[in-house]
Amino acid sequence: MTNKILIVDDEPNNLDVLRDCLYDAGFKVMVAKDGEKALKRIAHTKPDLILLDIIMPGMDGFETCRRLKQNEVTKDTPIIFITAKTETVNKVKGLKMNAVDYITKPFQPKEVIARVNKHLTIHNLRKQLEVQNTQLQNYVYHLESLASLGKAINGAKSMTEMMNNALQVTLAVFNCDRAWLLYPCEPNVSSLQVPMEVTRAEYPGANVLNTDIPMDPKISKVMKTTLSANGPVAFGPNYKNKIPSIINEKFSVQSQLCLAIQPKTGKPWQFGIHQCSHARIWTETEIKLFQEFGQQIGVSLELSISVEELQKTQERLSRKFYHNFVGASKLMQVIYQTIDDVASSEASILITGESGTGKELCAEAIYKESKRADKPFMICNCAVIPANLLENHLFGHAKGAFTGADDEQNGLVTQVNGGTLFLDEIGELSLSMQSSLLRFVQTKTFHKVGSHKPEKADVRLIYATNRNLLIEIKAGRFREDLYFRINPVEINLPALCERGQDILLLAEFFLFKFAKQEQKDWRGFSHEAEKMLLKYEWPGNVRQLQGVIHSLVILGKGNVITVEMLKAKISTDIKNEDSYFLSSGNLLNSDEKPNVILTSNDVVRPLEEIEQEVINKAIECCNGSVVKAAKLLGISRSTIYRKQQRKPSK
């Protein structure tokens, strides 16, 4: 590039000589005959070096030099005095005015060219050094900024704290008025929330943090523009992307810089900074640093989300409490996970298991985890409502349907419309009631008692039974078509005796719960008592354990449950249970043996087949109770369950 030299001298001969020699040396030459003309000339073209005479009419060279050094255009431009003044004092004065050299007349053209080249070289080297120094300072600041961000992120104990720290650093580094994170960034939703931001005190966020903001088409367009870009996108009066008025009104924004953060999994985030005080032009350095901030925040976000998901998974696999359930065994972890998996579905759920295993708790947990958790939840125990009243209880009746029906009345399905209905003891339904229920399950329509008008109800149904419905179907007491309609998903709750250490966990839970309730000072169980708790089979399951502990809390003495206390209470329960079996004529004959028919002829059949037949017959005789059947057969409940799952060989 050709350097431009400005000659300021009132003597035409000097101007001609200097201009010719500089031109011949390859420079572009400009001239001014006095100081005023020189100041006007630099307003249009900046020279790379100035040759300045001292003695000139009007403004002398020293004053001209002073003004040139005060001017933003020429404050760093090298100035060489060329003058007839040879006194040392003048040379010193010139150099004190920041001139780089002093040449006395008469001068030699070659000397002038040599000195011009020398000072242009020095000036260019100084400029390069300044640029490099600025670049180095920017690089150091860049690294320090990223280090500050890393420290703020790494020192956080939670994702919320991490993001808040990151935004605080962003606010300071970019000297902006607001830094924010929007997640998820979804341009097509009806409303949005800004869950994370930091703002200078004088520019509040218009109280919109974590509140629903209606999605405006212009806001949606800003999001789409950011999501489709490969890097940061600037918005403002100095850019092609303008700030929508609605953003300016809600957030007091003059300029905005946005970046989409695209995680490997999940929905995108949006990272942004606002300048509220004035319209701002973001430098290339700032934009590059902002992009690196976004990348580092994105990596930290993704790692944090992954860690949180892992922690949630670990917590799900080691939960001691789940809604109203208490239990940490593997069997209960499977139950909890199954509830998590099926709760969001609209499918019907059949909960099976012995009495006292927590079928109602399971139904409540499914409801609370479902999408209908904010809608009604009602329970109908089919075993306690007389068969002739159950249809009316479920579906309601029309006015005049029967004597005393003075007004129309809604049933449970209408009352719980939109919510969840739990039908407990579904195996107790009469066949006619099963038919009415099947019609409702299939069509979501029903008729009130005494009405021919069909009505609809949107109800999710959860069922429970302690009976083996397959045996009930075989015995003709339960409809097969209804069974397959209510059983797309079955959750079988384990007996308490199969849950191992859960027995102690539950016992302690009930002990401290009832001790607080009864204002007693119970502190735990003796070692022998714990062994007995684990050894006993608990035919009444959790409900029996709860009753035993409650009774001991009320009637026991001391502050530790002993094995003697447990034996006394459990033996009383066993005697009461034996009395029940002995008084049940349909179960025991005069010889106190069960009326179970083993074979119908003398044909020898496989033992597995005969075992299955005996077990099924025993359960049938006990009205579906596996507990009673196991007691009569002299085997454990788990043996019955295991043998029922195994098909006889052909």
Q: What is the pLDDT of residue 514?
A: 94
Do residue 305 and residue 328 come from a single domain? no
Is 92 a domain residue? yes
Q: What is the pLDDT of residue 427?
A: 93
* pLDDT tens-digit series, residues 78-90: 999 998 887 888 8
Q: What is the mean pLDDT of the chain?
A: 86
Is 626 a domain residue? yes
Dump the DSSP string for 12-40: HHHHHHHHHHHHHTT-EEEEESSHHHHHH
Is 301 a domain residue? yes
Distance between CA atoms of 567 and 547, rounded to whole angstroms? 14
**pLDDT exceeds cutoff 80 at 210:** no
Q: How many domains does the chain have?
A: 4
Write the single-letter amino acid at 204: P
User: 634 pLDDT band (50/70/90 cuts)?
Assistant: confident
Q: How large is the average pLDDT for residues 480-498?
A: 94
Is 589 a domain residue? yes
Distance between CA atoms of 380 and 13, rounded to whole angstroms? 117
User: 595 pLDDT band (50/70/90 cuts)?
Assistant: very low
Distance between CA atoms of 331 and 75, rounded to whole angstroms? 83
Dump the DSSP string for 534-548: HHS--TTHHHHHHHH
Do residue 429 and residue 337 come from a single domain? yes
Do residue 353 and residue 419 come from a single domain? yes
- % the chain with pLDDT above 70: 89
Do residue 295 and residue 328 come from a single domain? no
Q: What's the CATH number where 237 sits?
A: 3.30.450.40
Write the single-letter amino acid at 637: R
Do residue 338 and residue 281 come from a single domain? no
Is 449 a domain residue? yes
Q: How large is the average pLDDT for residues 323-330?
A: 93
**pLDDT exceeds cutoff 60 at 116:** yes
Q: How large is the average pLDDT for residues 534-551?
A: 93
The percent of the chain in helix, strand and coil, each rounded to the nearest 5, is 50, 15, 35
Do residue 183 and residue 237 come from a single domain? yes
Q: What is the pLDDT of residue 603?
A: 63
Is 230 a domain residue? yes
Do residue 367 and residue 479 come from a single domain? yes
Do residue 276 and residue 357 come from a single domain? no
Q: What domain range includes position 616?
A: 584-650
* pLDDT tens-digit series, residues 465-485: 999 999 899 999 999 999 999
Q: What's the CATH number where 17 sits?
A: 3.40.50.2300
User: 584 pLDDT band (50/70/90 cuts)?
Assistant: very low
* pLDDT tens-digit series, residues 31-53: 999 999 999 999 889 999 999 99
Q: Give Cβ neighbours of residue 69 (< 8 Å, ≥ 6 apart).
A: 75, 79, 97, 98
Do residue 207 and residue 307 come from a single domain? yes
Do residue 275 and residue 366 come from a single domain? no
Q: What's the CATH number where 649 sits?
A: 1.10.10.60
Going from the C-alpha of 212 to that of each of 48, 209, 221, 377, 469, the distances in angstroms are: 59, 9, 18, 29, 49
Do residue 299 and residue 330 come from a single domain? no
Q: What's the CATH number where 347 sits?
A: 3.40.50.300
User: 9 pLDDT band (50/70/90 cuts)?
Assistant: very high
**pLDDT exceeds cutoff 90 at 275:** yes
* pLDDT tens-digit series, residues 123-165: 999 888 888 776 676 666 677 777 888 887 877 777 788 888 8
Q: What is the pLDDT of residue 234?
A: 95
| pTM beyond 0.85, yes or no | no
Is 475 a domain residue? yes
**pLDDT exceeds cutoff 90 at 642:** no
Distance between CA atoms of 149 and 301, rounded to whole angstroms? 13
Q: What is the pLDDT of residue 646?
A: 58
Is 609 a domain residue? yes
E-strand ranges in 93-190 read 101-104, 178-182
Q: What is the pLDDT of residue 204?
A: 67
Q: What is the pLDDT of residue 327?
A: 93
Contact 73, 43 (CB under 8 A): yes
Q: What is the pLDDT of residue 650?
A: 44
**Residue whose structure tokens are 């860049």:** 142
Burial group, residue 545, by CB count within 10 angstroms (0-12, 13-18, 19+)? buried
* pLDDT tens-digit series, residues 418-460: 999 999 999 999 999 999 999 999 999 999 998 889 999 999 9
Which of 291, 312, 333 represents a domain boundary (last residue)?
312
Q: What value does the CA radius of gyration of the chain take, rounded to a whole number of Å?
A: 45
Contact 438, 397 (CB under 8 A): no
Do residue 194 and residue 283 come from a single domain? yes
User: 588 pLDDT band (50/70/90 cuts)?
Assistant: very low
